[in-house]
Amino acid sequence: MRMVPAGDLRTTLEILRRLASTMGGNAVNAKRTSYGALEVDVFFGSRQDFDVFIAALEPLGRVEFYKDLQEPAVFLPKAEAVREAVSLFDAERFWEAHEVLESLWRVAGGDEKKLLQGLILVCAAFVHLQKDENEVALGVAKRSLPLLSWKGDYHGVDVEILRQKIDGIVRSRALSLFEL
């Protein structure tokens, strides 16, 4: 789930974790966006408990979205899945973009599989950036470079421009967000 807290990010995260714990749930894997939103993986034994938890968050800020990860993934044709991953990436929902691309990677082969692995690593690098793990993020970004050797466009993603952006990030050691 992602929310824009009304107060301090750290305080909100601590309250959110305590609230989940007292309700029998767990809130882990905190990430932050460039615009101050907080994204947290929240686990509860039932959907009802989760719904009560979401309602209890109202005084803390606005919940932007939440997604039940136990719902089965919807099959998307390749071009649609890539568009969905790009949209998620551009919305700083890097983990979800990673998951969509992984569904394509599982059935791909050859150069396409290699490219998809590179795209997944780019998403993973930005997940680490959101978790303030800059050195890890830089290492993952560097690992993506040899995999981004696809020539031309891949379902709307200009791979050469992406490679240039990642190369610039790795060379400068300065992580910065961009859109696909």
> How confident is the model over 2-53, as pLDDT tens digits?
999 998 888 999 999 999 999 999 999 999 999 999 999 999 999 999 999 9
Whole-model pTM over 0.85: yes
Q: How many Cβ atoms sit within 10 Å of the Cβ of residue 8?
A: 10
Q: Which CATH number fits domain 78-172: 3.40.50.300, 1.10.3450.10, 3.40.50.920, 3.90.45.10?
A: 1.10.3450.10
Nearest to 123 by CA among 163, 82, 159, 93: 93
Please say whether the structural domain 2-65 has been given the CATH code 3.30.70.
yes
More confidently predicted of 74 and 1: 1
Q: Where are the domains of the chain?
A: 2-65, 78-172
Average pLDDT taken over every residue of the chain: 94
Name the one residue in this structure whose structure tokens are 């649609």. 80
- pLDDT score for 73: 73
> How confident is the model over 128-150, as pLDDT tens digits?
999 999 999 999 999 999 999 99
What average pLDDT does the segment 54-77 reach?
Answer: 87
* Cα 122 from Cα 159, distance rounded (Å): 12
